[in-house]
Amino acid sequence: MTSLPATTNKKLGLVIDLDTCVGCHACVIACKEWNTGGYGNALSDQQPYGANPSGSFLNRIHTFEVVPEDGQVIDQSTEARVVHFPKSCLHCEDAPCVTVCPTGASYKRQEDGIVLVDENKCMGCGLCAWSCAYGAREMDLAAGVMKKCTLCVDRIYNDSLLEIDRIPSCVRTCPAGARHFGDLGDPNSDISKLVEERGGFDLMPEQGNSPTNKYLPPRNRESLAATLPQDEAETTKDITKTADGFFGWVDKTLTKLGSENNQGES
C-alpha cells in the first residue's frame, strides 16, 4: 500500500555527524557487504573488474569544500574546509518515493517509520528514484528491482545477533563514531538529545519531504588569524609582508619580472 501512514509509532533513523566523519568509506563497504547477503536480492555490480565498473550501493560518501564568503587567506592557507558527507535514505515522513510507486512495492512501516521496497512487487519503473531528491534509491541492474537503505531491518530486530550488533551495519562499523542510530520520534532518546544539542538539520527542507535522518553541522572553527601568535597575526594577511631576506628578494624580483612580462604582452 503506497499511501503513507498518518503517523508512525517510532521514527527510527540515523544522525550523521558532519564534524566527525573522516570520509573513510568504511560504512559504504560495510553496508554493501551486509546488504548483499541480507534483505532481498544481492546488491549487484556490473563489470566489477572491467573497464567500466559500476554497481548499486545504498550509502555513498560525497566530499564537499566550503569556502566562507569573507574567509581569510594567510600564506597558502585559506579558511576553506572539507566536509565529508555520507548520504543514504533519510526515511522521510512525507516520502514521495512511496506515494509515486504504482505497484505497492514501496511502503513506509507504521511501526517504526522505515521505508522499504518489497522486491517481489517492484516492476523496476524507476519512478521512486526520480522522486527522491537525495539520490537514495538505485536500481539494481541484475535483479531489475529498486534498492534502498533498509535501516538494516534484518539486524536491528535480529535476536540471533549480539545486542551490540543490533544496529545498522554502517553505524556499527564507523570508526569515527560519526553515525548514530535511534528513535527520532522520542524526544528523550539519546539521539534526539544529540540533535537538540548540536543543532541537527534536515537536507533540502524546501523539498517538503520531512526527512527523519538528521545531519549535525561541522563545529565552528577559530578564524585563521586567531590561531597565529598575536604579533604575527597583524602582518600575515598578505604573504609578501612576511617575506624578507632571500625570499623577500625573490618575491620582489619575480613580481617585477611578472609585471614587465605583462606589459610586453599587452
Partner 1 sequence: MHPAYSVIVFTTFSGTGYGLAALLGLGFIDPSMMSVKAGYFLALALISIGLLSSTLHLANPKNAIRAFSQWRSSWLSREGVLAILTYVPITILAFLSIFMDSSIGWLGIVAAVLAMLTVFSTSMIYGSLRTISLWNTWLTPASYLAFSIASGAVVLNVLVAVFEGNSGNIPQYALLVLVAAWLIKWFWNRRQSEGYGKSSMETATGLGHLGKVRLLERPHMMANYLTREMGFRVARKHASMLWNITIVLALIIPAVSLALAFAMQGSMTAVLLSVIAALCHLIGMLVERWLFFAKAKHAVSLYYGDEALDAA
Q: Does residue 1 bind ligand SF4 (CB under 6 A)?
A: no
Q: Rounded distance, CA 132 to CA 94, Å?
A: 11
CA distances from 44 to 70, 118, 149 (A): 46, 17, 15
45: its cell numbers: 555490480
In the list ligand SF4, partner 1, none, the entry touching 266 (Cβ below 5 to 8 angstroms by class) is: none
Burial 130-144 (b: 16+ CB within 10 A, else e): ebbbbebbbbbeebe
CB of 226 to ligand SF4, least distance (A): 39
With cell 570520509, the residue in question is 23
Nearest-CA neighbor of 34 among 173, 180, 214? 173
Q: Segment 169-228, which members bind partner 1 (CB under 8 A)?
A: 201-208, 215, 217-218
Q: Rounded distance, CA 121 to CA 109, Å?
A: 16
Burial 93-123 (b: 16+ CB within 10 A, else e): bebbbbebbebebbbbbeebbbbbbebeebe
**Binding footprint of ligand SF4, residue count (CB under 6 A):** 29
CB of 152 to partner 1, least distance (A): 20
CA distances from 239 to 143, 149, 232, 247, 250 (A): 58, 49, 11, 11, 13
Q: Residues 19, 20, 42, 87: which binds partner 1 (CB under 8 A)? A: 87
Binding string, 52-81, against partner 1, x = CB under 8 A?
xxxxxx--xxxxxxxxxx-x--------xx
CB of 78 to partner 1, least distance (A): 10
CA distances from 31 to 64, 100, 111 (A): 22, 26, 23
Q: Does residue 37 bind partner 1 (CB under 8 A)?
A: no
Binding string, 98-137, against partner 1, x = CB under 8 A?
xxxxxxxx--------------xxxxxxxx-xxxxxxx--
In the list partner 1, ligand SF4, none, the entry touching 89 (Cβ below 5 to 8 angstroms by class) is: ligand SF4
| Beta carbons within 8 Å of 141's beta carbon, 6+ residues apart | 44, 46, 56
Q: Does residue 18 bind ligand SF4 (CB under 6 A)?
A: no
Binding string, 79-118, against ligand SF4, x = CB under 6 A?
----------xxxx--xxx--xx-x-xx--------x-x-
Binding site for ligand SF4 (CB under 6 A): 89-92, 95-97, 100-101, 103, 105-106, 115, 117, 122-128, 132, 134, 136-137, 146, 148, 209, 211
Binding site for partner 1 (CB under 8 A): 1-4, 18, 28, 52-57, 60-69, 71, 80-83, 85, 87, 96, 98-105, 120-127, 129-135, 138-139, 141, 143-145, 201-208, 215, 217-218
